[in-house]
Amino acid sequence: MFWQLLTPFLSGAVGMAIVGSLWMFWAQNYLAKYLAKKAENLATHQDIQKLVDQVRETERVKSEIADRMWDRQRRWDTKKDLYIKIYASLPKLHAQLINFTEVRKAVAAQVVSDDSAPVREAREQLQASFDEYGDVGFVAPLFFSDVALARVTDIGEQAKRWIQLLAGHDFLAIVREGKWEGIKTDLSQHFHEAIIGFSAAARDDLGYPPSHQTLRR
């Protein structure tokens, strides 16, 4: 009787043991591999995500650098254009100073009157050239170096000194005493030296090598 009761129990236990063994075998051979694969996939996904993040960060840095380089290039282009514009205005300004000088000499010699059309025209042309130079010089502090700005101011002061001598009450006496040619030579020399100083400062500010070329007087 006892064995009859025990037999089903033993059969169930044996069955459970077999099922347990099969589960353990499956767990060791399949579940473990499955979990290992899942872990590998997760690690790969994390690696990919890190790589994506690194690429995004790299692109962000590259974009910032590109923006800065673009902004720097734009500022350099603007600075260069201003230097070219102000430098190109100097020969015209010098030519108008010379022209106004000749007209004033004619007035001093009483060849023409001070309110004649040639005098007014020469005065207006000189004023226009000086204004053109001054307009560029007005915005120069936004872009030029301190040294270049000092040279711009120097050129303006040399031009003003020349104009003041021409318009002064002593000009007639200077011409009659034969002193004007020496003064004009001195004015031209200082004006050209100011231009050379400005040219050197501009080249340095723009990053060009120094020039050994000198202007003809």
Task: Indicate if the pLDDT at residue 217 is higher than 70.
Answer: no
Task: Indicate if the pLDDT at residue 197 is higher than 60.
Answer: yes
- The whole-number pLDDT of residue 11 equals 52
- Record the pTM: 0.63
Task: Indicate if the pLDDT at residue 99 is higher than 80.
Answer: yes
Give the pLDDT mean for 166-184. Answer: 83
188 or 116, which is more confident? 188
- The whole-number pLDDT of residue 198 equals 92
Out of 43-47, 71-75, 125-129, pick the least confident: 43-47
Query: What is the rounded CA–CA span in Å between residue 160 and residue 97?
Result: 10
Give the pLDDT mean for 193-216. Answer: 80
Query: What is the rounded CA–CA span in Å between residue 102 and residue 122?
Result: 9
**Mean of pLDDT over the chain:** 76
Buried b (16+ CB within 10 A) or exposed e, 164-194: ebbeeeebbebbeeeebeeebeebbebbbbb
Q: What is the pLDDT of residues 46-69, one digit of tens each?
A: 767 776 677 676 666 666 666 677
Query: What is the rounded CA–CA span in Å between residue 163 and residue 135?
Result: 18
Classify domain 71-206 at the CATH class level.
mainly alpha
Q: Do 103 and 129 meet the contact criterion of CB atoms below 8 Å apart? A: no
Q: At 23, is the pLDDT very low, low, confident or very high (cuts 50, 70, 90)?
A: low
Give the pLDDT mean for 12-30. Answer: 55
Task: Indicate if the pLDDT at residue 34 is higher than 70.
Answer: no
Q: At 6, is the pLDDT very low, low, confident or very high (cuts 50, 70, 90)?
A: very low
Give the pLDDT mean for 162-177. Answer: 82
- The whole-number pLDDT of residue 215 equals 42
